[in-house]
Amino acid sequence: MLLKYFYDEKLAHASYLVGCQRDKVAVVVDPGRDIEPYLAMAAKEGLKLVGVAETHIHADYVSGARELADRVDATLYVSDEGPADWKYLFLDGYKSVLLHDGDHFMVGNIRLDVLHTPGHTPESISFMLTDEGGGANKPMGIFTGDFVFVGSIGRPDLLEEAAGLTGTAEPGARDLYKSAERFKALPDYLQVWPAHGAGSACGKGLGAIPSSTVGYEKLFNPALQFDDEEAFVRYILADQPEAPKYFAVMKRVNKEGPRVLGAGHHHNMLPIAGLADAVQAGNVVDLSAAPEFGKAHYPGTINIPVGMLAAWAGWLVDYDKPTYLICEPHQLEEAARVLHKIGVEEILGGFDTNEVRSQGLASESYPTCSPDELAAKIEAGDVKLIDVRSDEEWNEGHIAAAEHRFLGRLPATLAELPRDQKLVVQCRSGARSAIGVSVLQAAGFKNVVNLTGGYTAWKAAGLPSVNPQHAMSS
């Protein structure tokens, strides 16, 4: 048997290729949209990709299941559990097997047994692997998808928080409790192979270790320490990270079937003469580093530095409009690949950042100021301070005069902000607030400032702040 681990750091997504070396066939578990690494690994190992197994309809990235089925005629092994609202709708025309609790399927001499493990989503299943080709008659490990992670467990509130399905969070939490009890009854020696690691919004407190065992998780996973259902429900629904709004798009896309990109899919750099029309018609995202963008940029563009694209584009890009990039030519394909992974489909090309600057088109800028320079004006109310950090960060401590507007939700609340007052944007270090400033400028706010160093610099300067959590615990 061959087991290969793939990890997309930008999305904190793990997927797996499982191969039977005797029969020279393989299956991919929970593939990402970029299928080239799986094809390359299969070719390297002399294996034919014959199947794709999905644990559930994913919400945080575009699945590569349909792409693999289309490209190599792989059979789709997918859940048929859960309500009618969460059935796969693109299976016609592809070879598929609908799975239920207790089913199993073979990949060569490798047996995969299906466990229905609802809670994160109603249709969620796990796959227990037994290497019968190696003579085993007991399972080696379990692919848990977004059910059990290293050090955590999948959140049950995504359908309500991201997909708008009111009233699903608590029932999901109760299903998750029952699934967790079933997990705890599995043999301690089983390896645990989850679909996400640290940084994923599919749960809270995910570990950065690639795999674990059932026994270790039973001992040390906080979510598996509960024997009382009510206590578990309270725990699992509290303090979950913000659910990116694009998760709702992903659920729909992966249910209905993502667009097949096909081999050779690529994007082109565009003539600079089309930049003005692009700004009028769509999203234009400048991938420059924040200091460079702050000094000079094209009006109407938003700034998401290339390393932050996966985390913030899904919040800030309008999925109903075409998207263009301002970037170095060599950045275009990788940036477009990241955007495709989170369901941004209509990427019409890129504009060369060097041309934008050399032709004098980068005519807008914004200032940055230190806490010492702004403290008196902030405290006097002469400027309006906008804190774009997460709810958790805000609750741990914030500047008393600040107004909390999480960056991901900032575009939806622009009408509530004054246009006749200077706006100072602040985060922890200055990186997210720089994105926030660009969002405000692109929306026509003329008097905006980025707080250099953010809340960290404010505290380092000995300036006052409030700590709601400390006040509640005193």
Choosing from 20, 202, 327, 427, which is the catalytic residue?
427
Dist. CA 81–CA 55, nearest whole Å: 11
Distance CA 67, CA 47 (A): 18
Calpha distance 249→123 (Å, rounded): 18
CA within 13 Å, CB half, 33? 28
- Give all strands (DSSP E) within 236-322, no chain letters: 283-286, 302-303
Structure tokens at 425: 């944007």
Name every residue whose Cβ is closer than 8 Å to that of residue 252 and which is 6 or more positions away in sequence. Answer: none
Contacts of residue 167, Cβ cutoff 8 Å, sequence gap at least 6: 160
In angstroms and rounded to an integer, the radius of gyration of the C-alpha atoms of the chain is: 24
Q: What is the DSSP letter of 129?
A: E
User: Residues 212-225, buried b or exposed e (16+ Cβ, 10 A)?
Assistant: bbbebbbeebebbe
Q: Coil, strand or helix: which one is 276?
A: helix
Strands 323-327 and 347-352: parallel
| Contact between residue 45 and residue 2 where contact means Cβ atoms under 8 Å apart | yes
Q: Which helix (H) or strand (E) holds 212?
A: strand 212-213
In degrees and rounded to multiples of 5, residue 394 shows phi and psi of: -60, -45
55: amino acid identity, one letter: T
Indicate if 369 belongs to the active site: no
Catalytic residues: 427
